[in-house]
Amino acid sequence: MSSSLRRGALAATALLIPLASLSACAAGNNAQTLGVRPDNAETSVGDIKIQNATVIAPQSGVQGEAAVSATLFNDGTEEQTLDSVSLPGSQTEVKLSPAAGSGAITVAPGGSVVLGGQGNPSGIIEDSSQAGGLGDVQRIVFRFSETGDVPIDAFVVAAAGFYRDFGPSNLPEAPTASPTGSATAEDGGHGDEAESGGEPAPSGSASASQGAGH
């Protein structure tokens, strides 16, 4: 192999090494933020960063529970607990539950927690009327043990499509239209009585007709 070819091969190898390293870093970052939708609210205060914050409510015309969903990051070196979540505009306190058992929701140093979704901690608004209307922007305040209050403005979205799996686990069914057949049948029954003058036909008339035929 000529010296020029050897130099080209070495240069190509040198380029591949940093590219591979960058690819590995990107994979790690993406793995940490899986499920985060960048079109939703995000903010950071001190060591705490919040992404993908939403209020997930039942569809219009349906009452029940609503939920707060978000991805919480702790970029510090100390563990922090999520002490409370509130909606100050409606003076509503969100009911927090860990993924299993009881106790505080903890965000490890350098770690993250997804609030909402199967197998994750949950934040439930017991009365969905306090969550705001679909499409509204709702102020949410996350309070952490070390950082304190982290406010963020988030959209109120319907518990459907992508958001259904992150909303309340006991979503009520949407109302369905009542069948029209029952009313028609009742009307038909009253019509027969109207034709006969509102009185039932004598029970013996059918037997008399049969007797005449024989």
More confident: 62 or 16: 62
Q: In whole angstroms, how far apart are CA 160 and each of 61, 99, 188?
A: 14, 22, 41
CATH number at residue 117: 2.60.40.1890
- Residue 38 clears pLDDT 80, i.e. is over it: no
Residue 56 belongs to some domain of the structure:
yes
How many Å apart are CA 9 and CA 15, to the nearest integer? 10
Q: What is the pLDDT of residues 98-126, one digit of tens each?
A: 999 889 999 999 999 999 999 999 999 99
- Residue 86 clears pLDDT 50, i.e. is over it: yes
Nearest to 35 by CA among 53, 58, 47: 53
Residue 132 belongs to some domain of the structure:
yes
**Residue 102 domain boundaries:** 36-163
Q: 68 near 132, Cβ under 8 Å?
A: no
Say which residues have a Cβ less than 8 Å from residue 21's Cβ, sequence separation at least 6.
Answer: none
Q: What pLDDT is recorded for position 110?
A: 97
Q: What pLDDT is recorded for position 63?
A: 82
The structural domain count of the chain equals 1
Q: What is the pLDDT of residues 174-202, one digit of tens each?
A: 555 445 544 444 444 444 444 444 444 44
Residue 142 belongs to some domain of the structure:
yes
Residue 196 belongs to some domain of the structure:
no
Residue 207 belongs to some domain of the structure:
no
Highest mean pLDDT among 54-63, 65-74, 162-171, 205-214: 65-74
Q: What pLDDT is recorded for position 85?
A: 97
Residue 173 pLDDT level (bands cut at 50, 70, 90): low
- Statement: the pTM of the whole predicted model exceeds 0.85: no
Residue 2 belongs to some domain of the structure:
no
Average pLDDT in the chain = 74
Residue 10 belongs to some domain of the structure:
no
Averaged over 143-165, what is the pLDDT? Answer: 94
Averaged over 62-89, what is the pLDDT? Answer: 95
Residue 28 belongs to some domain of the structure:
no
Q: 160 near 134, Cβ under 8 Å?
A: no
- Residue 68 clears pLDDT 60, i.e. is over it: yes
Residue 168 pLDDT level (bands cut at 50, 70, 90): confident
Q: In whole angstroms, how far apart are CA 83 and each of 97, 125, 144, 150, 166?
A: 11, 16, 5, 11, 20
